[in-house]
């Protein structure tokens, strides 16, 4: 299109590039007060120049006016140029359809698989390994099944066996000594009884002697009267006096016999007490010998490893002729658990029941309760196959439920420990000690409106989705209220209805009302 070029400026606007010297002189000549202009009269030229310098500040002002005038001319010229119209380009996006379906909220954590029944088997004493069980004509090895009570290994126990024999002999000797002391007690008690019988006999003799003395004394007094009356001779009186003296001697002898019998009783009682002390001493010796025997038997038992239950040998780190010391294992306590497994003689497991121990971050672990469903999958399976919760459940290596949740938080990791007990029918591919990824269903909405997690956009921490208007091929930015979060799906409480298309890829460049082109056909 041809356009006629014309000058839109009024005729009285000066040119855009003025002549500096002539224009300035003309301007000053027109605008200076008459007192500053040159006159034919003679005056002081220096004073006139000084007055002119005072007005130099006006020059930048007039220069700015000239520049503004030039810009105005350019803009007026641009108004005559043709206007170019730019067409809006549609942005390519991928979409998905909002659906209504059951949705579970899952939390995941890595955990360690272990058999519910497992035991570390070790020797309690040091020595050379002298025996390792035979299994089908060969030495025992990892993976072999063993039965409860089966002898699996033994170290050199000759000294321990001798200690047991010595303790048993000490018990036998102490028991014999106690039997002898018991017999002494019985004999001493018999002597006590005999001595007491002798005391009774002596006391009876004393009573007889005392009665004879009283009779002799009475007879003496009667004969004393008869002698004084002259009825009998004095010789009869003397006989009665001798009889009294003999009776007195008999009393003294009987008293001595009673005292002697009582001393025999005391001596026999002392023998009983001594014999009883001997019995007690031998009983104590038996107890000591039995304790030594028990200690020796425990030490001897610690030199052998027996299967505590029916199971499978999971780890085997010893061989015949090898020297073992418990310090090899205790030196790893508090360190790497794998180091313990590589040094302990044996580990036996019962593969009929497995569980997984997981550590959950504090806020996450508070959502976990006993009885919640759980699935176990390797990390590779989750990354490649778990495109939905149904896929995760279907492809899970094992399934189970939360068995226990520790109410305490570990001080170091600030985590909550949970135990997932697995269904035995689903654990064929699991191994004791294996690291797995666990998923626990902490909540469920059976009638949730869901969109892919990738459809959620957060701007200023507010969740939005872009809903496609298929009739106009534009998007509407909507704020949404989020529900529970699944593995790949996000529950929506408000903001989206089932059947609407939401943008899942390409939304980072979108704004409300933007024109879009849907490039995925399957949706």
Same domain, 251 and 279: yes
Number of domains in the chain: 3
How much of the chain exceeds pLDDT 90, in percent? 38
Note whether residue 34 is domain-resident. no
Q: Find the mean pLDDT for residues 515-519.
A: 92
Q: How far apart (Å, rounded) are the C-alpha atoms in residues 313 and 152? A: 10
SS3 216: helix
Residue 456 belongs to domain with CATH number:
2.40.420.20
SS3 124: coil
Closest alpha carbon to 294 in 416, 168, 421, 390:
168
Query: pLDDT value at position 407?
Result: 87
Same domain, 99 and 171: no
- The answer to whether residue 522 scores a pLDDT higher than 90 is no
- The answer to whether residue 16 scores a pLDDT higher than 50 is no
HSE value, Cβ hemisphere, 13 Å, CA-based, for 75: 6
Q: Find the mean pLDDT for residues 359-381.
A: 81
pTM check: above 0.75: no
- The answer to whether residue 38 scores a pLDDT higher than 70 is no
Per residue in 133-187, pLDDT tens?
A: 998 889 999 999 999 999 999 999 999 999 999 999 999 998 898 888 888 888 8
HSE value, Cβ hemisphere, 13 Å, CA-based, for 165: 6
DSSP code, position 515: B
Q: Find the mean pLDDT for residues 79-86.
A: 48
Query: pLDDT value at position 330?
Result: 77
Same domain, 383 and 468: yes
Phi and psi at residue 157, to the nearest 5°: -120, 25
Q: Find the mean pLDDT for residues 445-473.
A: 94
Same domain, 369 and 501: yes
Per residue in 298-310, pLDDT tens?
A: 889 999 999 999 9
Which of the listed residues 289, 317, 346 is the one where a domain comes to its end? 346
Closest alpha carbon to 118 in 357, 323, 298:
357
Query: pLDDT value at position 379?
Result: 53
Angle at 9 between CA 3 and CA 10, to 5 degrees: 130
Residue 320 belongs to domain with CATH number:
2.40.50
Same domain, 365 and 513: yes
Per residue in 48-81, pLDDT tens?
A: 555 555 555 556 656 666 656 554 545 545 555 4
Q: Looking at per-residue confidence, does 191 or 63 come out higher?
A: 191
Q: How far apart (Å, rounded) are the C-alpha atoms in residues 439 and 444? A: 14
Note whether residue 449 is domain-resident. yes
Q: Could you tell me the residue range of the domain that residue 284 belongs to?
A: 159-301
Note whether residue 8 is domain-resident. no
Note whether residue 108 is domain-resident. yes
Same domain, 99 and 132: no
Note whether residue 498 is domain-resident. yes
Q: Which residue has the tokens 């010391």?
A: 325
Taking the alpha carbons of 137, 140, 141, 142 in that order, is the dihedral positive or negative? positive
Q: Find the mean pLDDT for residues 225-250.
A: 80
Closest alpha carbon to 288 in 179, 178, 159:
178
Q: Looking at per-residue confidence, does 323 or 521 come out higher?
A: 323
Note whether residue 268 is domain-resident. yes
How much of the chain exceeds pLDDT 70, in percent? 78
Note whether residue 18 is domain-resident. no
The 3-class secondary structure across 364-376, one letter per residue, is HHCCCCCCCEEEE
């Amino acid at each position: 299109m041809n356009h006629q070029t014309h000058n839109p400026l009024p005729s009285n606007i000066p040119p855009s590039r003025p002549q500096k010297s002539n224009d300035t002189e003309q301007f000053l000549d027109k605008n200076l007060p008459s007192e500053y202009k040159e006159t034919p009269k003679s005056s002081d030229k220096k004073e006139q120049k000084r007055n002119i310098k005072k007005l130099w500040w006006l020059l930048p002002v007039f220069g700015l006016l000239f520049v503004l005038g030039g810009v105005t001319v350019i803009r007026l010229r641009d108004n005559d140029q043709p206007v170019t119209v730019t067409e809006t380009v549609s942005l390519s996006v991928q979409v998905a359809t909002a659906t209504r379906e059951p949705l579970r909220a899952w939390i995941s954590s890595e955990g360690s698989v272990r058999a519910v029944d497992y035991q570390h088997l070790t020797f309690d004493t040091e020595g050379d390994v002298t025996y390792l069980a035979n299994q089908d004509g060969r030495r025992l090895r990892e993976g072999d099944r063993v039965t409860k009570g089966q002898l699996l290994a033994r170290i050199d126990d000759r000294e321990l066996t001798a200690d047991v024999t010595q303790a048993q002999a000490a018990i036998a000797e102490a028991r014999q000594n106690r039997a002898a002391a018991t017999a002494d007690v019985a004999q001493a008690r018999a002597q006590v009884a005999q001595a007491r019988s002798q005391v009774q006999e002596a006391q009876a003799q004393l009573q007889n002697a005392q009665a004879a003395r009283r009779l002799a004394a009475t007879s003496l007094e009667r004969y004393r009267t008869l002698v004084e009356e002259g009825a009998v001779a004095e010789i009869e009186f003397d006989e009665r006096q001798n009889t009294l003296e003999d009776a007195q001697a008999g009393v003294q002898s009987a008293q001595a016999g009673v005292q002697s019998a009582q001393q025999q009783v005391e001596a026999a009682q002392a023998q009983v007490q001594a014999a009883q002390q001997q019995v007690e001493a031998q009983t104590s010796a038996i107890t000591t010998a039995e304790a030594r025997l028990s200690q020796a038997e425990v030490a001897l038992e610690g030199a052998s490893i027996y299967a505590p239950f029916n199971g499978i040998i999971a780890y085997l780190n010893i061989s015949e002729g090898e020297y073992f010391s418990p310090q090899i294992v205790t030196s790893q306590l508090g360190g790497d658990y794998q180091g313990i497994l590589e040094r302990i003689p044996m580990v036996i497991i019962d593969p009929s029941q497995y569980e997984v121990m997981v550590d959950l971050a504090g806020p996450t672990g508070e959502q976990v309760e006993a009885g919640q469903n759980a699935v176990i999958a390797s990390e590779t399976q989750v990354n490649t196959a778990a495109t939905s919760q149904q896929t995760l459940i279907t492809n899970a290596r094992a399934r189970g439920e939360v068995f226990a949740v520790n109410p305490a938080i570990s001080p170091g990791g600030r985590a909550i420990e949970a135990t997932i007990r697995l269904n035995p029918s689903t654990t064929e591919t699991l191994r004791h000690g294996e690291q797995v990824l666990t998923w626990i269903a902490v909540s469920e909405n059976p009638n949730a409106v869901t969109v892919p997690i990738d459809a959620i956009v957060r701007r200023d921490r507010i969740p939005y989705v872009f809903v496609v208007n298929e009739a106009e091929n534009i998007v509407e930015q909507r704020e949404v209220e989020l529900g529970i979060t699944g593995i790949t799906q996000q529950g929506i409480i408000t903001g989206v209805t089932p059947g609407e298309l939401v943008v899942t890829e390409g939304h980072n460049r979108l704004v409300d009302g933007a024109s879009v082109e849907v490039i995925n056909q399957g949706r």
